[in-house]
Amino acid sequence: METDTITAISTPIGEGAISIVRLSGPEAITIATGVFSGKPLEEAASHTIHYGKVLDPETGNVAEEVMVSVMRAPKTFTREDIVEINCHGGLTAVNRVLDILLSSGARLAEPGEFTKRAFLNGRIDLSQAEAVMDLIRAKTDKAMSVALNQMEGRLSDLIRKYRQELLETVAHVEVNIDYPEYDDVEEMTHDMMREKTKKVHDDIEELLTVAKQGKILREGIATAIIGRPNVGKSSLLNALAQENKAIVTEVPGTTRDVIEEYVNVRGVPLKLVDTAGIRETEDIVEKIGVERSRQALKQSDLILFVLNHNEPLSDEDRQLLELIGDLDYIVIINKTDLPKKLDLEHVKALSGNHPVVETALIDAKGVDELEEAIAEIFFAGNIETGDMTYVSNVRHIQLLKQAKAALEDATNSLEMGMPLDIVQIDVTRTWEFLGEIIGDTASDSLIDQLFSQFCLGK
């Protein structure tokens, strides 16, 4: 357990109304008292805020005018004494306060160390700690709702329930083996073991069923906008983003590089990539953009393929359709405000079961229909975050898959008539995999690696 006192700036670096420097540890209140001119903080009640000034210990001069919050253990985020100093926003003011605290005995916190202490002190488990970062990075209200549910322990409660059921099963087998003379203990049979492991297996499988949706809510849908030059790809990006992010002109090949933008489509974050038009070109800069566009296709979850209503289907269009044939894509017929020269029925035939949406992006027509088609592909048109427990973290998903596989190994062993003490090895492995999700069986190196990804001051 850590015993020193740490400090860091907890607000983004830059100009603003207020910046916050946080202290946590056994000497937090003592260190803050030593540099604070105002009410004696050691006498202050917990969870109160006080006006005063931070003094430079070397000169005694006023360094900053502040409001200081005092929060006493154990009712704090880290379960240690915490002091938060609210000073004026700006690099000079906040760094001056931080330097004074460091010279007064505090240590600069490592990335994520406040949250790590909350975990080590039993305030939160590992999955809740990871949800803190998910909440910070959430790009839509639904992603934030999923992170909040995980922070509140909804996933943790399920994992603990599964682990308890498995633990009771393993304990039952152990009692039968070690104390066979106890007649009042029901004998664990193959059928009983099969029934208990199947229940946990089915519950894990249900979590994994919605894991794809949870991962999308957390990370977004990587979406590439493709099409020949000047069909309206940049106009589509601007329409979805509801602002001008890409240059829109009548000159083919204007987009020379890949432009990325996160947009909110019915609560789902789309990481939109506006690619350079994929075509043969002699322009060196445009060639680089075209190659990056091809790479973007390989990394995309969804393709928005834009065609021009005012032009017949070209060989390049057909080649692009073949290129994305095995991927999830939506065909967008743009410029429907212009005379029709495209054979829509032929396009629909080539697209098979993939949605075809007609738009006139210059007037923002068809955008709602497009958003509906996107939601339909990934969420059957509806996203429920209120009562659902989504698994959104890649690490959690992988561990659940490993736990499910271990239970399937146990089931196979039961079908082969293996002794229960052999079967319980796989059941114990499942218990350990689930424990890694909440941190009960996670290694120190894994914990250090996870918290190193947090921002400084959190």
pLDDT in tens, 191-233: 888 898 899 999 999 888 877 777 777 777 888 888 887 788 7
Burial 334-346 (b: 16+ CB within 10 A, else e): bbbeeeeebebee
The band of 454, judged by pLDDT with boundaries at 50, 70 and 90, is low
Same domain, yes or no, for 48 and 176? no
As a whole number, the mean pLDDT across the chain is: 82
Task: Confirm whether 124 is domain-assigned.
Answer: no
- Decide if 78 is inside a domain: yes
Average pLDDT over residues 403-425: 91
Domain with 419, as residue range(s), is: 132-210+391-451
Whether the per-residue pLDDT at 403 is higher than 90: the answer is: yes
Find the CATH number of the domain harbouring 173. 1.20.120.430
23 vs 111 pLDDT, higher one = 23
Q: Do residues 396 and 360 both lie within one domain? A: no
User: Domain check: are 78 and 148 in the same one?
Assistant: no
What percentage of the chain carries pLDDT values higher than 90?
33
pLDDT at 246: 35
**Are 396 and 366 members of one domain?**
no
Predicted confidence at residue 63, as pLDDT, reads 92
Q: Give the tens place of pLDDT for each residue, 120-171.
A: 998 998 888 888 878 877 777 777 777 788 888 888 999 999 999 998 888 8
Q: Do 186 and 225 reside in the same domain of the chain? A: no
70-84 tens-digit pLDDT: 999 999 999 999 999
132 within 8 A of 151, measured Cβ to Cβ = yes
pLDDT at residue 274, rounded to an integer: 60
Q: What is the mean pLDDT of residues 319-348?
A: 87
Question: Tens of pLDDT along 220-229?
Answer: 788 888 888 7
Residue 385 lies in a domain: no
Is the pLDDT score of 438 beyond 70?
yes
273 and 191 belong to one structural domain:
no
One domain, residues 367 and 246: yes
Same domain, 292 and 246: yes
The owner of tokens 């990075």 is 137
Residue 457 in any domain: the answer is: no
For CA atoms 432, 437, 454, 116, the dihedral sign is negative
For residue 352, what are the contacts with CB-CB under 8 A and spacing of at least 6? none
pLDDT at 264 over 90: no
Residue 391 confidence (pLDDT) above 60: yes
299 or 179, which is more confident: 299
Residue appearing with tokens 């903080």: 41
Same domain for 158 and 43? no
Asked if 229 and 358 sit in the same domain, the reply is yes
DSSP 243-312: S--S---SSTT---S-EEEEEEETTEEEEEEEPPP-S----HHHHHHHHHHHHHHHT-SEEEEEEETTSP
CATH of the domain at 47: 3.30.1360.120
Residue 258 scores a pLDDT above 50: no
Residues 410-422, mean pLDDT to the nearest whole number: 90
**Could you tell me if residue 439 is inside a domain?**
yes
* pLDDT in the model for residue 216: 76
Question: What CATH number corresponds to the domain at position 337?
Answer: 3.40.50.300
| Whole-number pLDDT of residue 251 | 36
Judged against a pLDDT cut of 90, whether residue 324 lies above it is answered with no
Residue 254 has pLDDT above 60, yes or no: no
Domain boundary among 357, 379, 401: 379
Q: Looking at residue 285, what is its pLDDT?
A: 42
Q: Are residues 243 and 326 in the same domain?
A: yes
CA atoms of 126 and 118, how far apart (whole Å): 10
- pLDDT attached to residue 289: 47
287 in the same domain as 161:
no
Q: Is residue 120 part of a domain?
A: no
Write down the pLDDT at residue 331: 92
CB 85 within 8 A of CB 54: yes
pLDDT more than 70, % of the chain: 84
Q: What is the pLDDT of residue 240?
A: 79
Question: Would residue 325 count as lying in a domain?
Answer: yes
Q: What is the pTM of this model?
A: 0.68
Task: Give the range with max mean pLDDT: 223-237, 246-260, 348-362.
Answer: 348-362
Query: Do the domain assignments include residue 384?
Result: no
Q: pLDDT at residue 25 above 70?
A: yes
Count of structural domains, the chain: 3
